[in-house]
Every structure is written in structure tokens, then in C-alpha cells.
Structure 1
Amino acid sequence: MNLEKILAISGKPGLYVLQVQTRTGFVAESLVDGKKITVNLKSNVSLLSEISIYTYEGEKPLSEIMQKIADKENKQPAISHKEDNATLTSYFKEILPDYDEERVYPSDIKKVLNWYNMLQAKGLVVDTVPAVAVEEEAAVVADAAPAKKEKVEKE
């Protein structure tokens, strides 16, 4: 799942898509209502691609957690972020069994599930192809392209 241009802006509800950068900040479009807002550089903004969840072995990128939720739910909506804390922690334990329960709070789990459901509602929950596979495919295409060109020249 590509979260490169998806933003969470402190003090603003929902998620935003980065549209264009300006001298004093940037313009973002709300995923909830489609309205565009200008955000100055002093605002506390988090790129979802830079967010990680604590585990006992280290940290897991949010994109991996979102992909696990998508796989579990078959790209359908996850449970509501408004469920009680016991239900949320139990669900998250299924998704990420080794998450650090002392450092990942129920409020964090609510945010992740809320964000996932917002992205899913907008059709942004898609399979991601591992970077290695993309590089291998590009190499195959690059190797095949000159061979085709030679055949054309010989004919």
C-alpha cells in the first residue's frame, strides 16, 4: 500500500493527500470531503509513510500493518475504531502479534483502524508489489527491449 502522499495534520480531522508544495507550506486535499486547504510549515504534519508501530523486535512501518489488515479483511473495511479497547487490542493482536503493548496505546490502534477504513472507503487499499519484484521486472523488460530492436533491424 502506497502511503507516500497521505498526510495526517494535527488539529485537523481525517487524512489528506499532498497536492502541491508552495513557498510557505503546501496545499492538501481532504480524503473526507475533497476540500483543499493550505497548510503552513509550522503545522504538525505526519506522512503516513513515515509512521511506524513499535514491536518487541523493533518497529514496523504503517504500510506493512495496513497491508496485513487489508489481507485479513480481503480489502474490505476493518472493525470500527469505535469498538471498546478490549476488542481493538484483540483485533490488533491478530494483525500484529508482537506489537509492544506498553508503547502502543488503544488510541494508536484506533487511529490505525480509522485511517485504514478511510483509505479503504476511498479505494486506496491496493496490493503493493515488493520493490525487488519491480526491479527484476524492469531488468527483464530492459533486457528484452534491445533484442526486439535487433530483430526489427534485421528484417
Structure 2
Amino acid sequence: MNLEKILAISGKPGLYVLRVQTRSGFVAESLADGKKITVNLKSNVSLLSEISIYTYEGEKPLTEIMNNIAKKENNGLAISHKEDNATLLAYFREVLTDFDEDRVYPSDVKKILNWYNILHGKGLVVDAPAVEEAVEAVTEEVVAEKPKKEKKVKE
């Protein structure tokens, strides 16, 4: 699973795809509704590919965790992030047996499962080479659904 252009923006729900970099920040597109937003450089933005989870032996990249969830679920949906904390931690223990329980909180597990299910809903839980094609297909689908506004000509 390739998470190179997938973003989590603090204060904004859901996940975003990095589209264009500008002088003052960048343009991101929501995976939920396809709306584009501009994000300035002062915003707290995390690339999912840069996120790691604490284990007793070090840190594991989020990509590896997502792949473990995909293997466990046969590329299907994971459990809901709205389950109780005990259920979430038990599930996460099956996915990553040696995660550091003192440093990884239930809220972290909720985010990871929510992100996984969002990515799955958009067809991005696939083999790494197919991710770029899937992201482009989602983008084209969202763009095709939006009707273009006609320009009015003054006479």
C-alpha cells in the first residue's frame, strides 16, 4: 500500500490527496467528497507515509500496519473505529503484536482503523503499483461527476 500522497490535516476530518504545491502551501483534495482546499504552510499536516507506530523494539511505519490489516482482512474492511477501547486494542494486538501499549493510545488505534476504512472505501487498499492508478481513477470520477458551470456572455 502506497501512502505517499495521502494526508491527514489537523482540524479537518478525513483524508486528503496532495494535488499541487504552491508558494504558500499546497492544494489538497478530500477523499470523502472530492472538494479541493488550499492549505498554508502553518497548518499541521501529516503524510501518512511518514507516520510510525511505537513498538517495544522501535517504530513500525504506518504502511506496514495498513498492510497487516489488509492481510488480516483479505483486503476487506477492518472493524469500526467506533468499537469500545478494549475491542480496538485486542484487534490491534492481532495486527501488531508488539506495539507499545504505554505509548500507543486507543485514540491512535481509532485513527488508524478509520483511515484504513476510508482508504478501503476509495479502493486504495491494493498492491502498491495499483495505488497511483486507483487515486487517479477516484480523481477522474469525482471530476466527471461535477457539472461544469457555463460562462455567461454579456451582450
TM-score range relative to shorter protein: 0.7 to 0.9
Q: Distance in 1 between matches of 2:45 and 2:5?
A: 12
TM-score (normalised: structure 2): 0.82
Instruction: Find the aligned partners of 1:127 and 1:88 in 2 and give their Cα distance.
Output: 25
C-alpha distance in 1 between matches for 2:105 and 2:96: 14
For 1:66, what is the secondary structure of its paired residue?
helix
SS at match of 2:128: coil
In the aligned structure 2, how far is the partner of 1:18 from the partner of 1:128? 17
Q: Which residue of 2 aligns with 1:87?
A: 87
Does residue 7 of structure 1 match 2:4? no
SS in 2 for 1:28: strand
- Structure 2 residue matching 1:119: 3-state secondary structure: helix
Q: Which residue of 2 aligns with 1:115?
A: 115
Report the CA distance between 1:44 and its aligned residue. Answer: 0.3
Distance in 1 of aligned mates of 2:66 and 2:88: 15
How many matched pairs? 129
Provide the rounded CA distance (Å) in 2 between the counterparts of 1:95 and 1:87: 13
Partner of 1:138: none
Partner deviation per Cα, 1:40-75 (whole Å, 9 max, x = no partner): 000000000000000000000000000000000011
TM-score normalised by length of structure 1 = 0.82
* Structural mapping, 1:1-150, within 5 Å: 1-128=1-128
Partner AA of 1:7 in structure 2: L
Give the gaps of 5 or more residues in structure 1.
Answer: 130-155
Per-residue deviation at 1:94? 0.2
Give the alignment's Cα RMSD to 1 decimal: 0.8
SS at match of 1:104: coil
Deviations 1:118-138 (A, max 9, x none): 000000001237xxxxxxxxx
Which aligned segments of 4 or more residues in structure 1 are displaced greater than 3 angstroms? none
Residue 67 of structure 1 contacts residue 127 of structure 1 at CA under 8 Å; is this kept in 2?
no
SS at match of 2:119: helix
Percent of pairs identical after alignment?
Answer: 81
In 2: Cα distance, 1:10 partner to 1:3 partner: 17
Distance in 2 between residues matched to 1:127 and 1:105, nearest whole Å? 28
Give me the whole-angstrom Cα distance separating, in 2, the residues matched to 1:66 and 1:58: 17
